Structure 1
């Protein structure tokens, strides 16, 4: 479950919301950790503010966004693209939005700190920058 003192505003496009709701509904669940991850994502979507694709700020992580993050515990910086599960390929820097880090960042903005539970404990990362967002680039797929 996401653990934040003050819940940050989550923004999502109508197209992304529909995709995510469908994925959550039909996602295979093979363990308790995946179940918890999907429940957290569902809770985030329930409180998200839905905006039109053309109105979403360019620093919000959407499906197919490329972002730079920093692990606040190790200091390690990473860059990856959040993609649909069928397009995931970790070796190519494409992380499924159903992976814990993928679902943790969707809807959040540059500068936000996101926390989530992993089997080893609490993971914290900061979204340093959204390097590419399809909506801001005019690559709308609705």
Structure 2
């Protein structure tokens, strides 16, 4: 199945590319960045970016979660801060409200349905 094109701001792209060079386990993130459309201007408000707060449903378990997608140093799952380097964090980057993503996680294949993206400010 062909994956939907994802959108990443130039700001996020530059930070995440640097992260890929310095952190282990970034192969999936690197793959996602290579296929992303990079926007120099504002990204649509419903697109998941670094620091976005979003709500998604794991279609396999039915669990609905609200998280903020953050850089690894800020991650804290108890506070709902999900690292961009986690399998689900990498999967969510660049997708929009309503998208359903097929993704491999440690427990197997799953589908993530983005229910809402709540961006307070857009990266430029």
TM-score (norm: length of structure 2): 0.92
Contact 2:88 2:105 in 1 (8 A): no
Alignment deviations for residues 71-104 of structure 1 (CA, whole Å, 9 cap, x no partner): 1012111100000111111111101111111111
Alpha carbons 1:62, 1:133 under 8 Å: kept: no
Q: Which runs of 5+ in 2 are unaligned?
A: none
Please tell me whether Structure 1 or Structure 2 has the larger radius of gyration of its CA atoms: 1
Q: CA RMSD in A?
A: 1.4
Within-5 A mapping of 1:1-142: 5-27=1-23, 29=24, 35=25, 38-54=26-42, 56-135=43-122, 140=123
Structure 1 portions without partners, runs of 5+? 30-34
Secondary structure, counterpart of 2:116 in structure 1: strand
- Structure 1's consecutive aligned runs of 4 or more residues displaced over 4 angstroms after TM superposition are none
Q: Give the number of equivalent residue pairs.
A: 124
Question: 1:14, CA displacement in angstroms?
Answer: 0.6
Q: Is the 8 A contact 1:65 1:131 kept in 2?
A: yes
